[in-house]
Amino acid sequence: MEEIPGMLGRSPAMRSLFEAMARVTGCDHDMVVHVHGETGTGKEKVARALHERSPRRRGPFVAVNGAGSSDELFEAQFFGHARGAFTGALADGPGHVAVAEGGTLFLDEVADLSLGNQARLLRFFQEWEYRRVGETRLRKADVRVLTAANADLSRRVAEGRFRQDLFFRLGMVLHVPPLRERGEDVLLLARHFLEREARAAGRPCPRGTVEFWRAVRGFDWPGNVRQLEHEVKRLVVMTEAAWLTRDHLAPEVAQARPAARVPLRSAMETFEREYLTRVLERHGGVRKAAAAALGITRQALHAKMRRLRIEDGRGPGPRPRGREARPPEGP
C-alpha cells in the first residue's frame, strides 16, 4: 500500500513517519525541516514527497549536497555570484537559492558543512535574506529549506562540530527508520522491486521459494532500502530462473540467520520505547520540545515514559530482535 507517492510502507515505524510528514506539509515555508536517517533509507525521497504534498509543489525542487565544499565555493554556489566576483566568474551565477525560488531547496549532508558555512546558513535562516558574492544588494528569498544528514547532529553539537544555534533552528526533525526496524516492509519492498525490474527487463516476474523469502526477511540490510534495491536489480539481471532460491542471493544475505521470535506486543513496545528515546535525545531531554515534535501533549509523553520505563530519555536495556514472520511463498 502506497501511503505517500514514491514511498512504500505498512510498518508502525513508517506509519509514524507518514503521520509526521502529513503534519509538516502544513507548516509555513520558514519552518526548516531536518530529515535524519541512515545511509540508504530514502531521505531524499522523503524530502521530495514533502515538496510534492506542499503548496510549493508547482515550484522547483533543488537538491544540493553540502559535503566537501570550501567556504568560498559553498557561498558562491548556494547564494550565487556577480560577474567578475572572482577569477573565472565570466557571468552572473544565480545560485541554488535563486534557482529554487518559489519551491523547495533540499540541502543533504548538512552535518558535513564547515563551521563557517554553518554560520552563513544560520544567518540566511534568521532573515531569509542573502547577498550574492561580489554584490552589495540584499535579496529576499522565497524558498522552503529541507536539510538531511545520516549523522547524529546532537552528538556533533556535543563534539563542537556543529553549531548549537543552527541545530535549534532545525525546528522539525523527521526520522526515517532503517530497514531492519520496518518488519514486513522488507518483503513488500522486495516484491515491488522484483516486479518493477522484471517489467523493465521485459520478462516475467520471478517467484521466490520459502527459503528465499526467509533469507531476505532475516537479513539486517545495513545499506537499507538502497542495498535491497540493488540486490534485486542484480538478481533480475544475473538470474534467468523462474524461481529464486536462497542460493541466488549474495552470500552475506543467503547466510543471514533469521531473527528471533518475540511477541507482537513486545515488538511494538520496543519500537515505541526506542522511538521516544531518540526524540528525547534529539531535543536534549526537554520533554516539552519532544512532545511538540511528536504531536502529543506533555502529559501524554509523561504517561508513555512511565509505561515504557524511560528515564531521562534512555530505555531500560537492550532491545530484542524483531519477530520473524512466516515468509510467503512466491508472489
Chain segment 208-249, per-residue pLDDT in tens: 999 999 999 999 999 999 999 999 999 999 998 999 999 999
Whole-model pTM over 0.75: no
Would you say residue 314 has pLDDT above 50? no
- How far is residue 270 CA from its own chain's centroid? 21
Which residues, 6 or more positions from 61, have their beta carbon under 8 angstroms from its beta carbon?
47, 48, 51, 100, 103, 104, 106
Residue 326, pLDDT score: 41
pLDDT at 273: 77
Looking at residue 188, its pLDDT comes to 93
- pLDDT of 221: 96
Whether 325 has a pLDDT exceeding 50, the answer reads: no
Of 131-135, 263-267, 324-328, the poorest mean pLDDT is in 324-328
The yes-or-no verdict on residue 253 having pLDDT over 70 is yes
pLDDT digits (tens, 9 = 90+) for 29-82: 568 999 999 999 999 999 999 999 888 999 999 999 988 777 778 888 899 878
> What does the pLDDT read at residue 257?
67
Q: What is the pLDDT of residue 109?
A: 93
Phi, psi of 144 (to 5 degrees): -105, 140
| pLDDT tops 80 at residue 87 | no
Task: Summarize the confidence of residues 83-91 as an average pLDDT.
Answer: 67
Mean pLDDT of the chain: 84
* Residue located via cell numbers 530484542: 320
C-alpha–C-alpha distance, residues 46 and 48, integer Å: 5
- Region of 134 (left: φ > 0; alpha: ψ -120 to 50; beta: rest) is left
Residue 23 has pLDDT above 90, yes or no: no
Does 324 have pLDDT greater than 70? no
Give pLDDT, residue 322. 41
Question: Largest Cα–Cα distance in the chain?
Answer: 67
Q: Which residues contact 309 (CB under 8 A, 6 or more apart)?
A: 273, 315, 316
Rg (CA), the chain: 22
Is the predicted pLDDT of residue 172 greater than 70, yes or no? yes
**pLDDT above 80: residue 88:** no
Query: What domains appear along the chain, each with residue ranges and CATH number?
Result: 12-177 (3.40.50.300), 180-254 (1.10.8.60)
Whole-number Å distance between alpha carbons of 246 and 221: 16
